[in-house]
Amino acid sequence: MSILIDEKTRVIVQGITGRDGSFHALSMREYGTKVVGGVVPGKGGSEVEGIPVFNSVNEAKDKTGAQATVLFVPARFASSAMKEAIEAKLEIVVCITEGIPVLDMIRIQESLEGRETRLIGPNCPGIISPGKSKLGIMPGAIHKPGGVGVISRSGTLTYEVVYELTRSGMGQSTCIGIGGDPVVGTGFIDLLQLFQEDSETQGVVLIGEIGGTQEEETAEFIREYFTKPVVAFIAGRTAPSGKRMGHAGAIISGNLGTAEAKIKAFGEVGVPVASSPGEIPGLMKNLLAS
Active site residues: 247
Residue 82 and residue 14: Cα distance in Å, rounded? 9
DSSP string, the chain: --SS--TT-EEEEETTTSHHHHHHHHHHHHHT-EEEEEE-TT-TT-EETTEEEESSHHHHHHHH---EEEE---HHHHHHHHHHHHHTT-SEEEE------HHHHHHHHHHHTT---EEE-SSS-EEEETTTEEEES--GGG--EEEEEEEES-HHHHHHHHHHHHHTT--EEEEEE--SSSS-SS-HHHHHHHHHH-TT--EEEEEEESSSSHHHHHHHHHHHT--S-EEEEEE-TTPPTT-B-SSTT-B-BTTBT-HHHHHHHHHHTT--EESSGGGHHHHHHHHHH-
Residue 95 and residue 286: Cα distance in Å, rounded? 35
Contacts of 163 (CB under 8 A, 6+ apart): 142
